[in-house]
Amino acid sequence: ARVAPGASYPLSSVGQLRNGCTGFLAGPCHVIAVAHCVYDPKTDTWWPGLEFSAGRNGPDEWAPHGTVTWRGVDVPEQWRRGRSSGAAGSEPYDYALLVLSAPLGRRLGWLQVGVCCSPASRAGNTTRHQQQQQQQQSGRLPPCGGIWVRVGGYPDNQQNGTMWDERCRLYGSSVGGRGSRGADGGGEGGGLSWHDCHTRGGNSGSPLWMEPGWTAEAPAENSSADASSPREQRQEQQPVACALAMHVAAESTRRWDASGACTAAARGGWL
């Protein structure tokens, strides 16, 4: 659904990069996005247009909190390895960290990044690593068997710069930890999640988060996150971003000018 004007936290921490991708605040000066919107390992190219506009929501709220430039950006080495061979990056490592030039998150708040559910609880065989995780998280995290999450971002089948969100389900996850066999070292599928959220090109970088009180049965009609200030949320029960949308099913046909406005359609890069 279209997000109403003047969205409060946590949607105020979601924003759009000038290149059209979605990102979200994950710290005072930190934005998480997807690597394929930042760096192309096939050509060893860092993409331009990484300025961040938090809370952007259409022409009337194009930059409600200003547009902040960046002073640093990085992607995992596992994503960059293809630069010497012309290969694409590894999907479990399709994420990027941008450091902003101003502490926007101190004013707007940010999403905590963590684990929403027990990764070892998904259907199928589990590795020793996953079994250990399940034991450690027993009683603290629900299984990843259809928990309710929320996604917010900028799908490319809607007017450019308009924010849309949805309540949907996360069916499987293997996030957390480090290792050479995926982001969690757990083998095949490491670092990847499965969901039924209706994401599109432009949603790449959209956070999927679980809000306090949400379960596999039903999401709360009125989330406590919407009623509290960013500072209160950081101190107590805070929404947890546990997945990152990576929409790479098709190439974008849109282009943006220097101000971030959508121009005539043209064959573009992955979003």
CATH architecture, domain 11-244: Beta Barrel (2.40)
Q: Give the mean pLDDT of 72-76.
A: 94
- Residue 55 pLDDT: 97
Q: Give the mean pLDDT of 178-196.
A: 49
Distances, alpha carbon 174 to alpha carbons 47, 112, 181, 185, 187, in Å: 28, 18, 11, 9, 9
Q: Binning pLDDT at 50, 70 and 90, where does residue 86 land?
A: low
- Residue 250 pLDDT: 33
Eight-class DSSP state of 38: T
- Taking the domains of the chain in order of start, what are their residue ranges? 11-244
- Residue 49 pLDDT: 92
Q: Give the mean pLDDT of 214-242.
A: 54
* Per-residue pLDDT tens over the stretch 211-227: 876 666 656 554 434 43
* Per-residue pLDDT tens over the stretch 243-252: 777 654 333 3
The segment with the largest mean pLDDT, out of 56-65, 74-83, 112-121, is 56-65
Eight-class DSSP state of 170: E
Give Rg (Cα) of the chain. Answer: 18
